[in-house]
């Protein structure tokens, strides 16, 4: 399989962080593996952000696409990136400086060995992978992931983290509807429900202090609602009709995780 990777970077007000994300991708990934870099801006993008994004389209030997998302919110940004990407696989990442950008190169290498699988990152495989998380946020993340493991009968350790590389046909076949941050959870849970093989690799996460005082418990509510909706959605409605032969699912290639739902 000739694998080519589209990397979509979501941005709104970042300048230095956007440039750092972009440059780190190009310096750590084999550029021969990259089909394109898609920089997704939005209605809230600042003039400085747009100027930085535009300047990056003239950098390097990899095609860079500057795309203005049509619908608001991060979930829609991800869905639109999936729809326009031209690679065989896609990695989606924010430009907020929280993710371990260098993990993209490791994901691509793992995907080369397992092209039909979803290679996803987990902050729970190695100790001290969460940086800047308070005790409450850390405990809530741990508890929620364990709850998802029970609900969806999976050994996936970090379902709220959608920093992954996935075959584009797989993502395009899923019925994805979440428009906001719950998109990340929806995407991972529907991959699990579709019975696709997932492989986790470790990564770190550095929480950026956004100054918000919103209760951590309240932040969890959209995720809980999304999880229960997906858990009780018939499997036939997880995947779009006519997009996948259920008996010859090339994206799973005969390999399944332990989800039986």
What is the residue-wise DSSP string for 105-141? HHHHHHHHHSTTSEEEEESSSSTT-EES--HHHHHHH
Per the document, the length of the chain is: 261
Residue whose pair of structure tokens reads 């709220």 in the numeric block: 160
Residues 182 and 257 in one domain: yes
Residue whose pair of structure tokens reads 């929806």 in the numeric block: 186
* Summary mean pLDDT of the chain: 88
Enclosing domain of residue 249: 98-261
Residues 72 and 182 in one domain: no
Higher per-residue confidence, 131 vs 246: 131
Residues 138 and 235 in one domain: yes
* Total number of domains in the chain: 2
* pLDDT tens track for 127-186: 889 888 888 888 989 999 999 999 999 999 999 888 999 999 999 999 999 999 999 999
- Full-model pTM: 0.89
Q: Which CATH number goes with the domain that contains 8?
A: 3.90.550.10
């Amino acid at each position: 399989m000739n694998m080519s990777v589209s990397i979509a970077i979501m941005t709104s007000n970042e300048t230095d962080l956007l440039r750092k994300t972009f440059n780190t991708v190009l310096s750590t990934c084999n550029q021969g593996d990259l089909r394109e870099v898609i920089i997704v801006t939005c209605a809230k993008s600042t003039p400085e952000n747009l100027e930085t994004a535009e300047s990056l389209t003239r950098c390097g030997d990899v095609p860079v696409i500057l795309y203005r998302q049509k619908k608001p919110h991060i979930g829609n940004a991800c869905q639109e990136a999936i729809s326009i990407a031209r690679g065989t696989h896609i990695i989606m990442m924010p430009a907020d400086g929280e993710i371990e950008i260098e993990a993209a190169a490791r994901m691509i290498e793992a995907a080369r060995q397992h092209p039909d699988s979803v290679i996803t990152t987990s902050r729970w495989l190695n100790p001290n992978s969460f940086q800047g998380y308070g005790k409450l946020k850390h405990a809530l993340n741990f508890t929620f992931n364990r709850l998802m493991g029970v609900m969806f009968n999976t050994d996936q350790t970090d379902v709220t983290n959608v920093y992954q590389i996935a075959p584009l046909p797989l993502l395009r076949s899923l019925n994805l509807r979440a428009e906001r941050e719950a998109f990340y959870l929806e995407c991972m849970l529907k991959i699990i429900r579709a019975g696709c093989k997932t492989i986790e690799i470790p990564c770190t996460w550095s929480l950026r202090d956004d100054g918000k005082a919103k209760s951590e418990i309240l932040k969890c509510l959209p995720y809980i609602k999304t999880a229960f909706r997906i858990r009780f959605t018939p499997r036939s409605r997880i995947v779009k009709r006519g997009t996948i032969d259920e008996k010859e699912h090339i994206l799973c290639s005969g390999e399944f995780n332990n989800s039986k739902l």
